[in-house]
Amino acid sequence: MASTVLTGCLSESTGYQVGNFAAKKCASTETNVPFPTDYTELLEQARVAVELAMKDNRQLMEIEFPTAGLASVPGDGEGGIEMTESMQLIREFCDRFISSEKTTRTRIFFPEASEVDFARQSVFSGASFKLDYLTKPSFFQDFGFVEKVKMSDRVKAGDELFLVAYPYFNVNEMLVVEELYKEAVLNTERKLIIFNGELDRIRSGYYPPFFYPKLAALNKTFLPMMETVYYIHNFKGRNGGTLFRCYPGPWKVLRRVGNKYICLHQQVTMPSLKEVALEILPAN
């Protein structure tokens, strides 16, 4: 495996093994963050991770975790319900992370206009955040066609932070997110956070490059610029476990033993899900 592997052990309170991790010097310090016990703790960990990443001048960030339960895997929850759960958790995250004077400088993008209407009537009712959308439905939506929203027309001068909510339902959504980054974030002081975008679909080749060349190209043009600041992905089955990362710490492969999570493996760079499922977990 080409990635740098870390070994060793530490921490009585968490049950983690922590290795000889020498992070590059930066504004933040490496900490041994325990796997969260509930979503309240998760959101607090994510808040701290984003703040540290911003201090280290990260502009493009990803937060990814399951919403049907901390031990759940993709597909455990119904799609619409998972999106609604994500919306609620995004609101809670924003309330923790964004100060009252910054709310009007924060623009939250949902997949399409109907999601914005639902958010305004429910989870984001009364909030001062700017709510926006990535795509417009079209007459040919059932055939995979949607009307593209020009990002340069959506962004306003006072915007400082963009948060993109679960842009994975339609393949065009992540392409619009890349446009948003290029037109409104790159070469500015602005920040962009992708919240539960299921980017592993793109990383793993879920979308065949022959049929989705633009989406596949993101692996070379867009995703390498991204810092995954908070991440949880569970693996079920006989060799089950969890891939966990909280910035600026290393990537850890964990296994639950009793009421603790034991670290089986850790490394500086993100391992592929295939590596974790077929190599790391079966070997431990």
pLDDT in tens, 150-178: 787 889 999 999 999 999 888 889 999 99
| Domain residue ranges of the chain, discontinuous segments joined by + | 5-280
pLDDT in tens, 197-252: 999 999 999 899 999 999 999 999 999 999 999 999 999 988 899 999 999 999 99
Average pLDDT of the chain to the nearest whole number: 85
pLDDT in tens, 85-102: 999 999 999 999 999 889
pLDDT in tens, 39-72: 999 999 999 999 999 999 999 999 999 999 999 9
Beta-strand pair 260-267/251-257: antiparallel
